[in-house]
């Protein structure tokens, strides 16, 4: 079904004309450009792109949490699961935002390891979160124990520990439990497994699949680790140069990637079981958020680019239902940049 014709009850976030800008000495720095996106209820949406492409900025806007002095414009509408009115996230006051964050949408940030206060036991973090949101602490702690157990942690041991007494994987799971204690609808995870070893990454991914079912969650997972994402996400959003260049079902993107950049990402991934640090990086210079080049932002690195790509910006088009891309030559990409055995090598 087309994103725009989709029944509203299926959509948890509707993002329109979204832009994030920073004023800099060199001029205006646009780090998210004109993004339109629907996030479906109870899906796992993966946002992928190289470092600095705008993934974290885009996801921060879902909680109106872009750091100062960044300016967010456009619309971010959140649809609660019940009969409540839709919420215009960018119009929320500070006190409304404090409730909205954690209770509706919870975020596990990049560098999660430092999210715990080192001098406070884990139990204190849970209690403080419950108290700050005027929740019944006893009931909340009972729920916390259940979530920790679901994450294969010993609740009493973890709750009575200081953060430094836990291993990286345990700390990460404790943080996920903390982010779920106020029963949010949406969990946003920004590179949550980046600091973990491969085995722990895989185990967190499988835990997230179970959690999503058990707690009826929508998960937004941000990473530059495409192999990891293909094991978790129902749909993928590919970002390049502060904009979305392709989105669609994970299988469609894996086997029928329509944008040359997505194909480059897939080709840079020799085998989707290979750790990310063994992947080759995509060649070429990184885009600059201050300098908007004419035409398609990917043309300087694109093997298929011609004169029109240098002059005109390609519009986002629907290639097949729900599969969109912004490339003039999406119909020719199969022939020009074939995927290994039609995607077989990418499994
Ligand atoms: N506080 C800030 N002020 C100005 N520009 C910023 C700020 N934080 C990030 N940026 C810029 O915004 C752009 C997008 O950054 P963002 O963190 O969203 O990228 P990302 O895709 O999440 O990268 P990574 O995977 O490395 O986290 C980058 O060019 C970055 O330099």
For the stretch 18-67, pLDDT in tens is 999 999 999 999 999 999 999 999 999 999 998 899 999 999 999 999 99
Report whether 70 contacts 20 (CB < 8 A).
yes
The pLDDT-based confidence of 200 (bands split at 50, 70, 90) is: confident
Q: What is the pLDDT of residue 199?
A: 79
The beta strands (E) that lie in 2-120 are given as 11-24, 27-40, 44-48, 71-78, 87-88, 105-108
Ligand 1 atom at minimum distance from 223 CA: 25
Q: What is the pLDDT of residue 137?
A: 97
Largest CA distance in the chain: 65
| Whole-angstrom Cα Rg for the chain | 21
* Average confidence (pLDDT) over 248-254: 95
pLDDT at position 268 over 80: no
Which carries the bigger pLDDT value, residue 7 or residue 53? 53
pLDDT at position 1 over 50: no
How many other C-beta atoms lie within 10 A of the C-beta of residue 146?
15
Q: Which residues line ligand 1 (CB under 6 A)?
A: 22, 29, 31, 49, 51-57, 67, 110, 224, 289
Q: What is the pLDDT of residue 269?
A: 65
3-state secondary structure of 300: helix
Ligand 1 atom at minimum distance from 54 CA: 18
* Average confidence (pLDDT) over 248-271: 88
The pLDDT-based confidence of 16 (bands split at 50, 70, 90) is: very high
Pocket probe mutation, ligand 1, options 21, 28, 55, max atoms within 8 Å of Cβ? 55
Pocket probe mutation, ligand 1, options 57, 189, 228, 286, max atoms within 8 Å of Cβ? 57
Q: What is the pLDDT of residue 270?
A: 56
3-state secondary structure of 323: strand
Q: Using CA positions, which residue lies closest to atom 20 of ligand 1?
A: 52
Q: How far is the CA of 2 from the centre of ligand 1 (A)?
A: 30
- Tell me which DSSP letter residue 165 carries: G
pLDDT at position 271 over 60: no
Report whether 177 contacts 72 (CB < 8 A).
no
The candidate with the shortest Cα–Cα distance to 226, out of 202, 203, 254, 248, is 254
Which residues contact residue 44 at a Cβ distance below 8 angstroms, ignoring those fewer than 6 apart?
Answer: 208, 209, 212, 218, 219, 220, 221, 232, 233, 234, 235
pLDDT tens digits for 78-126?
Answer: 999 988 899 999 999 999 999 999 899 998 876 656 678 999 999 999 9
How is residue 221 written in tokens?
């997972």
CA 278 to chain centre: 22
pLDDT tens digits for 321-347?
Answer: 999 999 999 999 999 999 875 444 443
Q: How far apart are CA 339 and CA 266, in angstroms?
A: 8
Q: How far apart are CA 243 and CA 30, in angstroms?
A: 10
CA 248 to chain centre: 14
pLDDT at position 266 over 80: yes
Q: How far is the CA of 76 from the centre of ligand 1 (A)?
A: 20
Which carries the bigger pLDDT value, residue 87 or residue 273? 87
Which residue blocks in 133-189 are alpha helix, DSSP H?
A: 137-150, 155-159, 168-180
Q: Calculate the average pLDDT of the chain.
A: 88
pLDDT at position 151 over 50: yes
**pTM, full prediction:** 0.90
Q: Using CA positions, which residue lies closest to atom 1 of ligand 1?
A: 67
pLDDT tens digits for 169-199?
Answer: 898 899 999 999 999 999 999 887 777 778 7
pLDDT tens digits for 211-240?
Answer: 999 999 999 999 888 888 888 999 999 999
Ligand 1 atom at minimum distance from 24 CA: 4
- Sole residue written with tokens 């456009």: 74
Q: What is the pLDDT of residue 128?
A: 95
Q: What is the pLDDT of residue 157?
A: 97
How is residue 13 written in tokens?
């976030």
Q: How far is the CA of 337 from the centre of ligand 1 (A)?
A: 29
Report whether 327 contacts 320 (CB < 8 A).
no
The candidate with the shortest Cα–Cα distance to 77, out of 17, 15, 34, 11, is 15
How is residue 99 written in tokens?
């409730």
pLDDT at position 301 over 50: yes
Q: How far apart are CA 190 and CA 60, in angstroms?
A: 9
Q: Using CA positions, which residue lies closest to atom 28 of ligand 1?
A: 52
Q: What is the pLDDT of residue 272?
A: 55
Q: What is the pLDDT of residue 273?
A: 54
pLDDT at position 260 over 80: yes
């Amino acid at each position: 079904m087309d994103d725009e014709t989709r029944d509203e009850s299926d959509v948890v976030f509707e993002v329109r004309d979204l832009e994030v800008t920073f004023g800099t000495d060199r001029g205006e720095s646009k780090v998210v450009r004109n993004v339109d996106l629907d996030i479906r209820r109870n899906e796992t949406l993966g946002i992928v792109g190289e470092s600095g492409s705008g993934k974290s900025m885009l996801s921060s806007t879902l909680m109106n949490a872009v750091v100062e002095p960044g300016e967010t414009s456009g619309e971010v509408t959140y649809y609660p699961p019940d009969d409540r009115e839709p919420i215009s996230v960018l119009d929320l006051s500070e006190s409304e935002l404090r409730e909205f964050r954690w209770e509706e949408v919870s975020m596990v940030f990049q560098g999660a390891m430092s999210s715990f206060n080192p001098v406070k036991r884990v139990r204190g973090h849970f209690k403080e979160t419950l108290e700050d949101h005027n929740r019944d602490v006893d009931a909340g702690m009972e729920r916390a124990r259940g979530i920790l157990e679901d994450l294969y942690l010993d609740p009493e041991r973890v709750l009575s520990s200081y953060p430094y007494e836990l291993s990286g994987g345990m700390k990460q799971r404790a943080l996920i439990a903390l982010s779920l204690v106020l029963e949010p609808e949406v969990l946003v995870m920004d590179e949550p497994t980046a600091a973990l070893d491969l085995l722990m990454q895989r185990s967190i991914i499988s835990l997230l699949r179970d959690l999503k079912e058990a707690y009826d969650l929508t998960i937004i997972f941000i990473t530059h680790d495409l192999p990891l994402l293909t094991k978790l996400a129902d749909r993928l959003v590919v970002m390049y140069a502060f904009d979305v260049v392709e989105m669609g079902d994970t299988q469609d993107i894996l086997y029928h990637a329509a944008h040359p950049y997505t194909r480059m990402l897939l080709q840079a991934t020799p085998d989707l079981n290979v750790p990310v640090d063994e992947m080759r990086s995509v060649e070429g210079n990184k885009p600059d958020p201050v300098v908007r080049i004419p035409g398609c932002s990917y043309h300087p690195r694109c093997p298929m680019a011609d004169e029109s790509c240098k002059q005109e910006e390609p519009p986002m088009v629907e290639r097949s239902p729900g599969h969109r891309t912004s490339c003039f030559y999406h119909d020719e990409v199969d022939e020009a940049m074939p995927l290994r055995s039609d995607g077989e090598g990418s499994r």
